[in-house]
């Protein structure tokens, strides 16, 4: 573990402030450049042809009409596709997955690219793609969980969850005085970031320049480099802004790789942007699940076992499984815990990480199941959860690095008015006669870290530049990371330039796993620390400096001055130290990653409690979530405004999961029939009201030097179950699938 | 997108003259352009009618009715004081449709003419008798859960998705059209056709005919005090109806003198049954009556695909819409027009 990471220090005046997004004006005035906004001299437009069957072969591709369409430059098919040097089965990066790049005539899912049309204009390319005629030999597609055999993961890995057992589940079942055994299903969901996946690709000899949204710039460069057989440093990737990623923009996807290939082949820059409909297929999704959960409790309502088994859908050619059952680990104090996973291979695009992957689907089921059992034990749902509060991590017995979940329960319940909840279902009405129901759920999300690097440069005028290739997906990285950076040198924000979103910068790691602020922020903090250390060394040797002779002291900076830690009177201006040393700048570097030891020693999570109120028309059964109160403890909050907006967004996502999102496949063709935002529903403004976020104070001495956990994903967990439970409370009906729809209540 | 010729005629006569069997009139484009993008429609000639003169007006006719030009935008009409006075439930229906942005673009004529939202109609790669006569109907047995329960045929189970048309049908609106062989008027009730064997014939318009205006007869205003549109849907706004109902009552001293009902999203046209209306005339409003009316209105309803629940929902919707109409039209448009949700804030214990 880097040395700078052992202490909390130099935490100044920027962190903790609810600063507005630094890129806000650029975004609302349209001057922020997203990938597809870029253009180039001589730009070629590419549009791919999606397969209209989900399983089988393309037996013939008639490209005649397309080729002759005015403006069309060419049609790339498996027959003439230029060589792609990289091994498509290799996994050059941790998150790499097999992609569809016209390697053969096989169709593995509807929407898979089967040809690429390149043209002088987008219109010509679009029409060219429409004119390509494919003949297929189609087989019956498998799109439902029962359509194929299940399999078990042999070697668990990223996206391949296996089985985790603590204690003796059979004994837990046997010891149960009360138990439930319930099966729930969750629907396939698609990320649908507002900004579709897009690339503008240009080759300069064997150097590749890409404008493309990326949640993991360095990793993306490696993956492109592997595919195209060039060194990673030959890839320049610019991703200053993302219009959302949600896990789907970390690795290259087939359509984008084809555009890069076209650019190499044509010797011209190529742009490709997916249409909304194309977003339902080759760029990942949250796979559908069927989860069986069995809980047991003793006579006092103490859990004896949580036994959670998830069947998750994946594609026929790759393995990524929603690790849903793992949501039952680490939260409630049960004597025995078992999480098991099975997969089923369907003719669908490969699922991938989607905001709270596994946790969202698994928590939905766990939290509903907890309420099912609370009812049988006859305890208030909150009381039941408190009775099973885990003081140390269940199963492992490890201490939590910090856990203010009790405060979350208390503060959330108080703000919501939970104490007034009648135990009976179907007893609350509002003034209009609508059924009212209250439900709750616990939120849990791991607080991991990836690895990141950063550079800090102090200039002679006392300003500084910080650099790391972090990704601002809209969550506000440009702002929160700059706050951390400025604090590391004790500078106000306007004295600091923050550069990011470019692969030439030190790697900012992955914007994922709710770990970006902790990781990239940690690296920036360390880089600033490195500058201070060097400054201290310089000053200690400068007879004119008040810090002369300070030797091995610890230094910290405030308001542009370097202090000996704890000695507020002995300081020197940063710029004076530099000028005395005759330096125009001083460069420090830092990195961040979590050490093995602390990782093994502590369980590290963000926690929260979500309380939901639903109103339901008793006859028409239309539903509305009228209040959502979430209280979350997520370590140090760098920017309360941004953190709150992440948590609000997460709760809205949970609402979307609970009541709206579902991609519907036609079982005969395998095509998704609602692949557009008119019919693939997410909540609209009128569905979102009465939202309240409480951030609960939490100091964490272990999670990392800055005490930062994550807020990006946790709020989905807890919320889905809370809404399912509120619907049960309002109507007396327990619906065991998501989304819950009006007709389920009729 | 397929290449097409784009014309912008300046008179209705020129527009009609420019029409060919492969042409399409373009209003706000919110439906047509989407269908052109999916490839479900591919006209060779697009005739932009938004420059035709005088069709963007709302006028009071001599007999006291309203004449609404085909190019009036949905948002403008929804906020028109004369419409709000004469037919508040039409405003409610308009505001319950689509989104603010779409309503700003959508025209009256385009709304009347909008196509079904059957996903297989919109998917150029699916078989669809309505889009390509005789090609089959992939919606049957497919993954569409909002198909018809009334008036469907072996050839087509599509519904008409318009909110606007539902109260219009109840209020006896008329549609003025201009065509190659002159002008004529079609009752809105007869405007949309049930599919039968020819689902491709979506409306009563003859080839090349252009909607120029919509007329609301003066007597529509006599229902203004007791008329509501109710729309049940999967989210609070910006979703097509699962089922909707327009209920208009004329009341005299607590008794209904005349009633008009129409159901939306259940058939290829707003669904009206004269016998159901007749049950209301002269009756005292009560739930038993409303249930009988609903039964009559839904007589013969049958699920297509898995839509049995829609029959039940439609019955409940009719009853509620009648209850709301009997209670009287609110003085102001509700904050959530046509929604079962009102403004109430506080939960109480029953
Ligand atoms: C996402 C989305 C959600 C929606 N939600 C709803 C909803 O909840 N409720 C609802 O009722 N509607 C809804 N709509 C549909 C919307 O109301 C229609 O798209 C709109 O009314 C069509 O009007 P327009 O002027 O844009 O028609 P256009 O798209 O221009 O035309 C539609 C059709 O009518 C023809 N046409 C247009 N004008 C004339 C004319 N004067 N004479 C003859 N033919 C003509 C065109 O050739 C075309 O075939 C929604 C639409 C979208 C895209
Ligand atoms: S229901 Fe009608 S519109 Fe839909 S596919 Fe069948 S024929 Fe076409």
Paired tokens of A323? 């690790």
- Residue B126 CA: nearest ligand 2 atom is 5
Whether B109 is in the pocket of ligand 1, judged by its Cβ within 6 Å, is yes
Tell me, yes or no, if A318 is annotated catalytic.
Answer: no
Report the CATH architecture of B221-329. Answer: 2-Layer Sandwich (3.30)
pLDDT(B350) > 80: no
Map out the domains of chain B as residue ranges: 221-329
A565: pLDDT confidence band, cut at 50, 70 and 90?
Answer: confident
d(CA A93, CA A73): 34
Query: Phi and psi of A290, rounded to 5°?
Result: -130, 125
What's the whole-number mean pLDDT along residues A125-137?
97
B141 with A668: Cβ contact below 8 A? yes
Pocket perturbation via mutation, ligand 1, pick of B19, B101, B113 by most ligand atoms within 8 A of CB: B113
A554: pLDDT confidence band, cut at 50, 70 and 90?
Answer: confident
Give the torsion sign (CA, B311, B315, B318, B324).
Answer: negative
What's the whole-number mean pLDDT along residues B7-33?
98
pLDDT in the model for residue A371 = 98
d(CA B129, CA B121): 8
Residue A25 burial (CB count, 10 A): 11
Q: Which residues contact A205 (CB under 8 A, 6 or more apart)?
A: none
pLDDT in the model for residue A154 = 85
d(CA A277, CA B90): 33
pLDDT in the model for residue B2 = 84
Cα A534 to its chain centre, rounded Å, is 37
d(CA B305, CA B310): 11
pLDDT in the model for residue A247 = 96
CA A677 to ligand 2 center in whole angstroms:
21
Whether B176 is in the pocket of ligand 1, judged by its Cβ within 6 Å, is no
pTM of structure: 0.97
Contact A657, A189 (CB under 8 A): yes
Reported as a single tens digit per residue, the pLDDT across A513-525 is 999 999 999 999 9
Residue B3 burial (CB count, 10 A): 12
Contact A496, A482 (CB under 8 A): yes
pLDDT(B282) > 80: yes
pLDDT in the model for residue A3 = 36
Contact A61, A108 (CB under 8 A): no
Reported as a single tens digit per residue, the pLDDT across A291-329 is 999 999 999 999 999 999 999 999 999 999 999 999 999
pLDDT in the model for residue A221 = 98
d(CA A5, CA A667): 54
User: Percent of chain B at pLDDT above 70?
Assistant: 98
B-chain residues near A277 (CB < 8 A): 38
Q: What are the pocket residues of ligand 2 if the criterion is a CB atom closer than 6 Å to any ligand atom?
A: B 116, 118, 120-121, 128-131, 137-139, 156-158, 199
Report the CATH architecture of A358-448+599-745. Answer: 2-Layer Sandwich (3.30)
A746 with B309: Cβ contact below 8 A? yes
What's the whole-number mean pLDDT along residues A12-19?
88
Min Cα–Cα distance to chain B from A129, Å: 9
pLDDT(A718) > 50: yes
pLDDT in the model for residue A567 = 81
What does each C-alpha distance from B255 to A271, A509, A517, B292, B331 come to in angstroms? 68, 73, 67, 17, 21
pLDDT(B140) > 90: yes
Which of A10-19, A229-238, A373-382 is least confident?
A10-19
pLDDT(B167) > 80: yes
Residue A280 burial (CB count, 10 A): 28
pLDDT in the model for residue B344 = 58
- Work out the angle at residue A533's Cα, subtended by the Cα atoms of residues A454 and A468, and round it to the nearest 5 degrees: 5
A-chain residues near B3 (CB < 8 A): 127
pLDDT(A2) > 50: no
Which of A152-166, A335-349, A359-373, B180-194 is least confident?
A152-166
Pocket perturbation via mutation, ligand 1, pick of A277, A675, A678, A684 by most ligand atoms within 8 A of CB: A678
A-chain residues near B141 (CB < 8 A): 668
CA B240 to ligand 2 center in whole angstroms:
17
d(CA B32, CA A71): 25
Cα A474 to its chain centre, rounded Å, is 12
* Averaged confidence pLDDT in chain A: 95
- Residue B116 CA: nearest ligand 2 atom is 3
Which ipTM did the prediction report?
Answer: 0.96
pLDDT in the model for residue A525 = 97
* Averaged confidence pLDDT in chain B: 96
d(CA A399, CA A391): 8
User: Nearest Cβ partner of B350 from A427, A624, A659?
Assistant: A427
A5: pLDDT confidence band, cut at 50, 70 and 90?
Answer: very low
pLDDT(B345) > 90: no
Whether B50 is in the pocket of ligand 1, judged by its Cβ within 6 Å, is no
d(CA B179, CA A676): 35
d(CA A107, CA A335): 47
Indicate the CATH number for domain A3-32+451-593. 3.30.365.10
**Three-state SS sequence of A366-420:** HHHHHHHHHHHHCCCHHHHHHHCECCECCCCCCEECCCCHHHHHHHHHHHHCHHH
Whether A299 is in the pocket of ligand 1, judged by its Cβ within 6 Å, is no
Reported as a single tens digit per residue, the pLDDT across B103-126 is 999 999 999 999 999 999 999 999
User: Nearest Cβ partner of B238 from A126, A659, A684?
Assistant: A684
Please report which ligand is nearest the Cα atom of B134: 2
What's the whole-number mean pLDDT along residues A703-729?
97
Residue nearest to atom 50 of ligand 1 (CA): B98
User: Nearest Cβ partner of A123 from B1, B126, B312?
Assistant: B1
pLDDT in the model for residue A9 = 38
B349: pLDDT confidence band, cut at 50, 70 and 90?
Answer: very low
B341 with A434: Cβ contact below 8 A? yes
Residue nearest to atom 2 of ligand 1 (CA): B98
pLDDT in the model for residue A568 = 77
What's the whole-number mean pLDDT along residues A334-359?
97
Min Cα–Cα distance to chain A from B308, Å: 10
d(CA B221, CA B203): 27
Q: Locate the chain A residue with the closest alpha carbon to B347.
A: A430
pLDDT(A11) > 80: no
Please report which ligand is nearest the Cα atom of A680: 1
Nearest to B66 by CA among B176, B203, B226, B208: B176
Nearest to B265 by CA among B119, B124, B136, B116: B116
DSSP β-bridge partners for residue A44: A270
pLDDT in the model for residue A521 = 97
What's the whole-number mean pLDDT along residues A178-201?
98
Reported as a single tens digit per residue, the pLDDT across A626-683 is 999 999 999 999 999 999 999 999 999 999 999 999 999 999 999 999 999 999 999 9
DSSP annotation string for A499-528: E-SBTTSPB---S-TT-HHHHHHHHHHHHH
Contact A295, A307 (CB under 8 A): yes
User: Percent of chain A at pLDDT above 90?
Assistant: 95
Query: Is A419 in the B-facing interface, judged by CB distances under 8 Å?
Result: no
pLDDT in the model for residue A553 = 83
| SS3 state at A59 | strand
Query: Is A673 in the B-facing interface, judged by CB distances under 8 Å?
Result: yes
Paired tokens of A273? 């942007």
Biggest distance spanned by C-alpha atoms of chain A: 85
d(CA A448, CA B162): 50
- B325-338 burial: b if 16+ Cβ within 10 Å, else e: bbeebeeebeebbb
Task: Give me Rg for the CA atoms of chain B.
Answer: 20
pLDDT in the model for residue A429 = 96
Within chain A, which residue ranges are assigned CATH 3.30.365.10? 3-32+451-593, 35-139+191-279, 358-448+599-745
Indicate the CATH number for domain A35-139+191-279. 3.30.365.10
């Amino acid at each position: 573990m880097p040395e700078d990471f052992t202490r909390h220090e130099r935490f100044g005046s920027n962190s903790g402030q609810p600063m507005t997004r630094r890129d806000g004006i650029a975004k609302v005035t349209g001057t922020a450049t997203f990938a597809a906004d870029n253009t180039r001299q001589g730009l070629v437009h590419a549009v791919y042809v999606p397969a209209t069957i989900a399983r089988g072969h393309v037996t013939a591709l008639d490209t005649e009409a397309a080729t002759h369409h005015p403006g069309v430059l060419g049609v790339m098919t498996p027959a003439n596709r230029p060589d792609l040097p990289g091994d498509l089965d290799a996994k050059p990066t941790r998150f790499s997955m097999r992609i569809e790049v016209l390697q053969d005539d096989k169709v593995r899912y509807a929407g898979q690219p089967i040809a690429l049309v390149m043209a002088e204009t987008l219109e010509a390319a679009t029409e060219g793609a429409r004119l390509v005629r494919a003949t297929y030999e189609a087989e019956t597609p498998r799109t439902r969980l029962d359509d194929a055999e299940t399999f078990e993961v042999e070697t668990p890995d990223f996206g391949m969850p296996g089985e985790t057992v603590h204690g003796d589940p059979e004994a837990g079942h046997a010891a149960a005085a009360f138990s439930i055994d319930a099966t729930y299903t969750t629907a396939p969901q698609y990320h649908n970031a507002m900004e579709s996946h897009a690339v503008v690709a240009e080759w300069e000899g064997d150097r590749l320049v890409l404008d493309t949204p990326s949640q993991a710039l360095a990793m993306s460069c490696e993956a492109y480099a592997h595919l195209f057989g060039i060194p990673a440093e030959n890839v320049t990737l610019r991703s200053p802004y993302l219009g959302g990623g949600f896990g789907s923009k970390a690795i290259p996807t087939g359509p984008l790789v084809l555009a890069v290939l076209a650019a190499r082949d044509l010797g011209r820059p190529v742009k490709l942007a997916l249409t909304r409909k194309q977003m339902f297929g080759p760029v990942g999704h949250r796979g559908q699940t069927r989860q069986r959960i069995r809980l047991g409790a003793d006579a006092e309502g103490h859990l004896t076992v949580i036994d959670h088994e998830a069947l998750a859908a994946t594609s026929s050619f790759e393995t990524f499984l929603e690790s849903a059952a793992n949501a039952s680990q680490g939260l409630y104090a049960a004597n025995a815990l078992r999480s098991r996973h099975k997969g089923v291979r369907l003719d669908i695009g490969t699922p991938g990480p989607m905001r709270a992957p596994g946790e969202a689907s698994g928590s939905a089921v766990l939290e509903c199941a907890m309420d099912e059992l609370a009812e049988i034990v006859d305890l208030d749902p909150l009381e039941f959860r408190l009775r099973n509060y885990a003081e140390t991590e269940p199963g492992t017995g490890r201490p939590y690095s910090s856990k203010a979940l009790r405060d979350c329960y208390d503060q959330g319940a108080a703000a919501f008015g939970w104490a007034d909840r009648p135990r009976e279902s179907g007893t609350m009405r509002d003034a209009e006669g609508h059924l009212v129901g209250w439900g709750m759920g616990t939120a849990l999300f791991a607080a991991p870290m990836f690895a990141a690097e950063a550079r800090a440069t102090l200039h002679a005028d006392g300003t500084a530049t910080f650099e790391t290739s972090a990704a601002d997906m809209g969550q506000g990285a440009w702002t929160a990371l700059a706050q951390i950076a400025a604090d590391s040198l004790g500078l106000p924000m306007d004295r600091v330039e923050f550069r990011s979103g470019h692969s030439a910068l030190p790697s900012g790691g992955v914007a994922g796993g709710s770990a970006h602020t902790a990781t990239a922020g940690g690296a920036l903090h360390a880089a600033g620390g490195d500058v201070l250390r060097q400054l201290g060394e310089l000053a200690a040797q400068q007879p004119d400096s008040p810090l002369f002779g300070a030797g091995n002291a610890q230094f910290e900076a405030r308001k542009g001055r370097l202090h000996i830690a704890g000695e507020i009177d002995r300081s020197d201006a940063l710029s004076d130290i530099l000028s005395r040393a005759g330096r125009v700048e001083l460069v420090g570097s830092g990195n961040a990653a979590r050490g093995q030891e602390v990782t093994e020693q502590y369980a590290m999570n963000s926690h929260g409690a979500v309380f939901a109120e639903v109103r339901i028309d008793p006859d028409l059964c239309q539903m509305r979530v009228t209040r959502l109160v979430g209280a979350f403890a997520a370590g140090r909050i760098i920017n309360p405004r941004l953190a709150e907006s992440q948590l609000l967004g997460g709760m809205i996502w949970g609402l979307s999961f609970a009541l709206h999102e579902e991609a519907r496949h036609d079982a005969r063709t395998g095509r998704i029939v609602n692949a557009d935002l008119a019919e693939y529903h997410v909540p609209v403004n009128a569905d979102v009201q009465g939202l309240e976020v409480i951030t609960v104070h939490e100091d964490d001495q272990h999670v990392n030097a800055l005490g930062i956990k994550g807020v990006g994903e946790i709020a989905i967990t807890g919320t889905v179950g809370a809404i399912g439970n509120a619907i049960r409370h309002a109507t007396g009906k327990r619906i065991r699938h998501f989304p819950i729809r009006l007709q389920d209540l009729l | 997108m397929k290449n097409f010729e784009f014309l912008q005629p300046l008179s209705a006569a020129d527009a009609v003259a420019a029409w060919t069997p492969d042409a399409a009139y373009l209003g706000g484009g919110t439906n047509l352009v989407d269908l052109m993008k999916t490839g479900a429609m591919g006209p060779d000639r697009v005739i932009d009618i938004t420059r035709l003169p005088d069709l963007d007006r709302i006028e009071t006719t001599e007999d006291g009715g309203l004449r609404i030009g085909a190019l009036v935008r949905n948002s403008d009409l929804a906020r028109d004081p004369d419409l709000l006075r004469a037919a508040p439930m039409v405003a409610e229906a308009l505001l319950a449709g689509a989104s603010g942005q779409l309503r700003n673009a959508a025209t009256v004529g385009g709304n009347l003419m909008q196509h079904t939202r059957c996903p297989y109609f919109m998917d150029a790669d699916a078989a669809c008798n309505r889009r390509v006569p005789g090609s089959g109907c992939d919606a049957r047995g497919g993954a569409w859960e909002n198909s018809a329960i009334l008036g469907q045929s072996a050839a087509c189970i599509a519904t008409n998705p318009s909110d606007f048309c539902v109260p219009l049908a109840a209020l006896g609106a008329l549609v003025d059209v201009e065509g190659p062989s002159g002008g004529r008027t079609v009752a809105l009730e007869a405007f949309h056709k049930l599919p039968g064997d020819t689902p491709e014939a979506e409306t009563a318009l003859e080839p090349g005919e252009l909607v120029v205006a919509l007329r609301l007869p003066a007597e529509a205003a006599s229902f203004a005090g007791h008329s509501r549109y109710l729309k049940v849907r999967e989210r609070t706004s910006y979703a097509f109806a699962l089922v909707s109902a327009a209920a208009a009552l004329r009341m005299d001293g607590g008794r209904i003198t005349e009633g008009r009902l129409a159901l939306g999203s259940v058939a290829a046209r707003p669904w009206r049954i004269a016998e159901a209306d007749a049950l209301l005339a002269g009756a005292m409003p009560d739930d038993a009556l409303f249930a009988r009316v609903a039964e009559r209105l839904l007589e013969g309803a049958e699920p297509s695909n898995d839509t049995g629940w829609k029959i039940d929902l439609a019955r409940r919707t009719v009853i509620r819409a009648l209850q709301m109409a009997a209670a009287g039209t609110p003085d102001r448009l509700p904050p959530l027009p046509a929604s079962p949700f009102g403004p109430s804030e506080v939960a109480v214990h029953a």
